[in-house]
């Protein structure tokens, strides 16, 4: 499985387009069609981005909730009603919808941060701050993947 890795900063051109990193394009390509889904992050002032397969996995997880519960209704409404499928041109450029740019405070350039099965699009200053704070928190709290995954197994 290919993963979204690394950090990239790209400028937004005069027509409002931004280039998708080529390594990300390669992951999204399936049957000569590139599908990119964008939505507002629930945790940060950033944009979540992924392929359609990731959305299908999210849907399967939500489907495990009680169909008549408020949680299920809130998740389906909040996530699926705000998803934006964007077109990527032959040169790998796409438009970030204006409402998403405003939400993430993106103006002339944006930072792409790999998240494994998805990626985020940030205002560059906010991205640098987020990367620094996440690393600092892990170090200060001495978190390890083993300690976190053992908590999941015990639940």
Is 23 inside any structural domain? yes
Contacts 24+ apart (CB under 8 A), 47-50: 47/96, 47/100, 47/103, 47/104, 47/106, 47/120, 47/121, 47/122, 48/118, 48/120, 49/112, 49/118, 49/119, 49/120, 49/121, 50/117, 50/118, 50/119
| C-beta atoms surrounding 58 within 10 Å | 18
- Is 80 exceeded by the pLDDT of residue 145? no
**153 assigned to some structural domain:** no
pTM: 0.89
Q: Report yes or no on 79 lying in a domain.
A: yes
pLDDT digit string, tens, across residues 15-56: 999 999 999 998 988 655 678 999 999 999 999 999 988 999
Domain membership flag for residue 140: no
74 confidence band (pLDDT: 50, 70, 90): very high
Position 8 scores a pLDDT of: 98
Question: How is residue 8 written in tokens?
Answer: 């990239």
| Domain annotation covers residue 57 | yes
- Number of domains within the chain: 1
Greatest CA separation found in the chain? 52
Looking at the domain assignment, is residue 67 inside a domain?
A: yes
The CATH number covering residue 111 comes to 3.40.1550.20
pLDDT at 33: 66
Residue-wise pLDDT tens digits, 82-118? 999 999 998 999 999 999 999 999 999 999 999 999 9
Which residue range(s) make up the domain with 95?
7-124
116 lies in some domain: yes
């Amino acid at each position: 499985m290919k993963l979204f890795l690394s950090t990239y900063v790209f400028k937004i051109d005069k027509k409002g387009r931004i280039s998708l990193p080529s390594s990300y394009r390669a992951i999204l390509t399936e049957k000569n069609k590139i599908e990119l889904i964008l939505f507002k992050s629930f945790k940060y002032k950033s944009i979540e981005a992924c392929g359609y397969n990731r959305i299908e996995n999210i849907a399967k997880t939500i489907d495990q909730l009680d169909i008549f519960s408020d949680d299920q209704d809130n998740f389906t409404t909040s996530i699926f009603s705000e998803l934006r499928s964007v077109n990527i041109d032959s040169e790998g450029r796409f438009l970030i919808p204006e409402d998403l740019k405003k939400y993430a405070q993106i103006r002339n350039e944006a930072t792409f941060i790999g998240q494994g099965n998805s990626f985020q699009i940030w205002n560059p200053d906010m991205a640098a701050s987020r990367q620094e704070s996440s690393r600092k928190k892990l170090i200060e709290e001495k978190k390890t993947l083993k300690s976190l995954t053992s908590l999941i197994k015990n639940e």
